[in-house]
Amino acid sequence: MTEKKIYLKDLKDGGVKTSLMVNKKLYKDGNKMIYLLSDKSGYINAKIPLKVKLEPGQVIEIEGVKDYIIDVFQVEILENYDVNDYLATVSRNIDEIMEDIEELSRECIISPQAKALDDYFFKDEEFLEKFKRGIGGVSMHHNYIGGLAEHTLGVMYLTKILCDIYDCRRREIAVLSAKLHDIGKIYEMDYSGPFKYTLQGELEGHIVIGGQMIDRAIVDLKIPFSEDFVRRIKGCIIQHHGKLEYGSPRKANMEESIILNFADSVDATLNKINLIKEETKEDTWSVYDKKMDMKLYL
């Protein structure tokens, strides 16, 4: 097995030689094709000669010149490697993230029915294994192993702060919904590398999948949940994208779902900006980002 010794985070500008995974083909630039490449320390764009035909999931050893993008002049496809070396991974220790999630939970999720629903998922080892490896998105935000947990923590924290500032009537509902809002992503996306949507994800999406998971939990637990509790939790899951044009089956129309939508949007957007900053020099414009529909002056 080829041992990977040099990661993206270690590379300086100038001549480089390293191995990376092909994530996707982006666009043609003159006589070269721009590809998105990765290893566990992050992502980078690379210009690769058109004569070299690459497919997502391949791991390649490259030589070239780096200056926020790698201009590649030599490529070799590798066959024997550890895939975990090439899947972008959250920089913070995942167990520390999970402990922070549980600390917020202990503070905010206190009623018997809320704790029962929380425990149904977060004391289930199979669910936890998937959740801790889950990604926040394929390309939009938190698109790395552990990104789902990191995003969940950010949304929970922002939700709590907004609830406290604006005296939300149902802080527990809001914070629990923040914890559960993206659980459907563990089945929506394939994070075995390269990251992509599953068939279930393509057909249903994480909002529908998450709603189904809540329904299943309510049936399995066989305890007397209040109708209002179930309605509001499911409402938050269903409405957390805020608007129909953003993929929300219903427009957010409860105090707690509006707070959750704002928290979700802020955490996702600022994470995306952080990712763009990593490939943009200070006091310059970023490249045009299709997802954000803009360039950023950073």
* CA gap 62, 74 in Å, rounded: 6
CA distance 275 to 262: 20
User: What is the residue-level pLDDT of the chain in tens, covering all 298 positions?
Assistant: 677 888 998 889 999 999 999 998 998 888 899 999 999 999 999 999 999 999 999 999 999 999 889 999 999 999 989 999 999 999 999 999 999 999 999 999 999 999 999 999 999 999 999 999 999 998 889 999 999 999 999 999 999 999 999 999 999 999 999 999 999 999 999 998 789 999 999 999 999 999 999 999 999 999 999 999 999 999 999 999 988 888 889 999 999 999 999 999 999 999 999 888 887 888 999 888 777 888 999 9
Beta bridge partners of 24: 36
Could you tell me the CATH superfamily of domain 8-85?
Nucleic acid-binding proteins (2.40.50.140)
DSSP 49-65: ETTS---TT-EEEEEEE
> Do the strands 69-78 and 42-49 form a parallel or antiparallel pair, or are they unpaired?
parallel
Handedness of CA 87, 90, 95, 97 (dihedral sign): negative
CA 240, CA 207: separation in Å to the nearest integer?
A: 8
Strands (E), 163-224: 189-190, 196-197
Q: Where are the domains of the chain?
A: 8-85, 94-276
Using CB atoms within 10 Å of the CB of residue 233, give its burial: 0 to 12 exposed, 13 to 18 middle, 19+ buried: buried
Does 2.20.25 match the CATH number of domain 94-276?
Answer: no
Element (H, E) at 268: helix 255-277
CA angle at residue 73 from 67 to 77, to 5 degrees?
A: 110
